Chain A
Amino acid sequence: MLKSTRIAFAGAVMAGTMAIGAAQAQDDLTVGLAVANLQADFFNQIKQSVEKEGDKLGVEIITVDAGGDSARQVSQIQDLITRDVDAIIYIPAGATAASVPVKAAREAGIPVVAVDRNPPDAPGDTFIATDSVAAAETLGNWVCKQTGGKGRLAEIQGQIGTTPQIDRDEGFDKALANCAGIERVAQQASNMWMQDEGFNIAQAMIQRDPGITVFWGQADALALGAAQAAKVGNLGDVIVVGFDGDVAGLEAVKSGTLDATMTQQTQLMGRMALASAIKLANGEEVPAEQLQEATLTTADNVEPFLKEHP
C-alpha cells in the first residue's frame, strides 16, 4: 500500500511536469519578462501588452512575477539567464536593490531593458518609463488651478526610495512651489502601492485633520483608497487625484470618484519594451532613455482611454 501511494504521487508529479513541458513553444527569439508585482494593475497592463505583442511577432515571452519581493526577483532573473533568453525586460521590484539582476545579466551577455524603474548604479541598456517628474508637475498645476490655489493637501506616497515615488514627489513639489495657498498637512508613504493601504493611511489622516480638502495618491490604487476613506469619513467636497491611469483608476475618473489621474501609456511601453529587447538582442543600438509622456485625464477626456488603453 505504502509503495502504491508513492508511485501514484510519482505519476502525478511526472505527468504534471511533462504536460507543462509539452506546452513549451520553440521559437527563435526568447525574451524574459521579469515583473515586479502582477497584483498591481499597472504592471499587469505592461505584461499583457508585452505578451500580446510577443504573440504577434512570434517571440516567445517567459514571464516571471516577483510579487514585490526583490530577493525572489534575483532568483527569477538567474533562472531566465539559465534559460538562456536573448534579452530580459526588467521591471524592478523594491527600490534600490535592483542593480544585482542587471549585473548578473550583463555578465552573462544578455541585454536588459529596464521599465518603470532604473537601477542607478547599474542602469539597463535602455530605460523605458513615463516622465514622472513632468507628469506629476502637470497634475500639481491642475490641482492648484482647480482649487483656486487654496487648500489643505494630504499626500499618500508610494514605496519610499523607488524611482516613481521620488520623481512624483519632485514633480508635485515643483507645482506646489508656485501655489503657496496649498498647505501640505499630511504626508505618509505606503509599502506596496495598494488600495487597502491607501484607505487606512487616509483614514488616519482624516482622523487627525478633518479639514483636508485635497488627496494626492501617488498611484490610482492609493487614491482610490483615499477616496473611499473620504467617503466613509463624510468629508464631502474633496478633490482626489491619482497617478497611472490603470483601468480601475480610469473607471473611477469616469464615475467621479477620482477627479483626475495621469494616464501612463502602458500598452505603448509594453510594445516599446519588446521592440527594444528585440533590437538589443540583434545587436542594434537603442537610446539609453526613452521617456514617455503621461496624459492628464479627467472626466472630460477619459472615455477614449477606457475604450482602448494607450
Chain B
Amino acid sequence: MTTEAASTTPERSSRPFRLAFDGGVLGPLVGLVLLCVGFSFASEYFLSVRNAINILDQVTVLGILAIGMTLVIIIGGIDLSVGSVLAFSMMMMGWLYQFGGVPLPIAMVLGILTGAACGLVSGCLITFAKLPAFIATLAIMSIARGLANILTDGRQVVGYPDWFTNLATVRHFGFLSVTVALFIVLMVIAGIFLRYRATGRNLFAIGGSAEVARLAGIDVRKYTLVTYTIAGALAGVAAVTLAARLNSSQPSAGLGIELDTIAAVVIGGASLVGGVGSIAGTLIGVLIIGVLRNGLNLVGVSPFFQMVVIGAVIALAVAFDTMSRNKN
C-alpha cells in the first residue's frame, strides 16, 4: 500500500516555496512507515499480506469519503454531512430495493445519485444562500440523518442478494475484492485529476483565494457546486460499499465518520484554510488511521487506551507536519 502512495506523485501546491519532491506527503509517509515498523515488532500478526489486505478492506469506506473531503478542503470548504449522507444514500438504496421493487443495480445508482443530490443542496446553500460551509453542511448532516431514519422508521434493511455482499467479501485473485479495487481506482482517478487537469488545479486556486480565482476568470460558484456534488456522490459510493460490507443498510451507519474523514485528510497534509492538500497525502492519512486501529487491535491494547493513542497520534502527526512546514 505504501508503493501505491509513492506512485501517485505528491500534489503541487499553490505555495511556490515547497520542495517539489516533498509536497507535504513525506512527513505523513515517514509516520506511516514508522507505525508499520513499530507494529511489526509489537505483533507477530501484523506484517502479512493478508493483514495488509484487511487494512485496505477496512479503510475502503473512509478512503472513498476522504477523496471527496480532500476536494472540499482544497477549495477551502468543509463537509460535515458525509456520514449522514452516507446513511441516507444507503437507506435510499435499501428502501428502493426492498420496498420499491427496484432492481438492485438501479437502486445502487439511485443511492449514489441521492448522495449527489445532497451534495448539490449543500453547494447551493453555500453559493446562493451564502451560508458558511460549516453551517450549510451541518444542516444537511441533520436533515440527511433524519431522512435516513424516516425512510424505514429507523429500521434496518436486510436481505441483499449474495452477489452484492460478494462485492466486498470475495477476494479475486486471492487479494482484491471489488470494493477495494473500486477504492484504488477512485484514488488514482482523483490523483490524476487534481495533479494534471487544469480544472483540478483551479480548485487549489479557489482555496488559495476565491476572490483572486474569480478575477482570474474561474467560475468559483460552478466549481463549488460541482465539488460538493462530487463529495456527496462519493458518500453515495461509500454507502454502497458499506452496505455490501455489512450485508445490510442501517440508518445509524457512518455516525461520526465525518470527523475521521477530516482527520485523515488533515493528517495527509491538507490545510483546513484551503489551497493545500493532495490525494497521495490523504491516502497516507487514511492508512495511518487504518493501521493504527488494526495494529492496536492486533497487539491487544484496551479500547479505552486506544482512543488516547489515536488522539495523540493525530495531534503528533499534524503538529510535526506543521512544524516542519514552518521551518521550511
Contact = CB atoms under 8 A, between A and B. Distances in A.
Interface string A74-88: 111011101110000
A160 interface: yes
A242 interface: no
B253 interface: yes
Nearest to B157: A96
A288 interface: no
Nearest to A93: B252
Interface in A1-42: 1-2, 5-6, 8-10, 12-14, 16-18, 20-21, 24, 35, 38
Contact of A96 (B156, B294, B324): B156
A14 B68 CA distance: 32
A62 B58 contact: no
Contacts of A24: 42-43, 299-300
Given A79-B298, A83-B298, A9 B246 contact: no
Contacts of A79: 54, 293-294, 297-298
Nearest to B86: A71
Contacts of A95: 156, 250
A76 B254 CA distance: 16
B165 to A, nearest CB: 8
Nearest to A51: B302
A233 interface: no
A39 B226 CA distance: 39
Interface in A90-108: 94-97, 99-100
A204 to B, nearest CB: 15
Interface in B309-327: 309, 313, 316-317, 320, 323-324, 327
A65 B30 contact: no
Interface in B153-193: 153-156, 158, 165, 169
B115 interface: no
Specify the main secondary structure of chain B where it touches its partner.
helix
A146 B3 CA distance: 69
Give the bracket for the number of chain B residues in contact with chain A: 35 or more
A99 B31 CA distance: 36
Given A16-B309, A100-B247, A71 B242 contact: yes
Given A69-B255, A78-B57, A97 B328 contact: no
A69 B61 CA distance: 13
B304 A2 contact: no
A191 interface: yes
A196 to B, nearest CB: 15
Interface in B275-317: 293-304, 306, 309, 313, 316-317
Nearest to B242: A71
A63 interface: yes
Contact of B316 (A9, A62, A80, A82): A9
A20 B299 contact: yes
Contacts of A72: 293
A74 B248 contact: no
Nearest to A64: B297
Contact of B38 (A17, A65, A159): A17
Contacts of A189: 154
B54 A82 contact: yes
B155 A83 contact: no
A65 B303 contact: yes
A17 B300 CA distance: 12
Contacts of B294: 75, 79
B245 interface: yes
A13 B35 contact: yes
Contacts of A78: 54, 57-58
A9 B299 contact: no
B45 interface: yes
B302 A6 contact: no
A70 interface: yes
Interface of B: 27, 30-31, 34-35, 37-39, 41-43, 45, 48, 50-51, 54, 57-58, 61, 153-156, 158, 165, 169, 242, 245-248, 250, 252-256, 293-304, 306, 309, 313, 316-317, 320, 323-324, 327-328
Given A9-B31, A84-B45, 19 more contacts: A9-B317, A24-B300, A60-B300, A62-B300, A69-B253, A70-B246, A71-B242, A71-B246, A71-B254, A79-B293, A79-B294, A82-B54, A94-B156, A94-B250, A97-B247, A99-B247, A100-B245, A100-B247, A160-B154
7 contacts: A35-B303, A69-B253, A70-B253, A71-B245, A79-B297, A159-B252, A161-B155
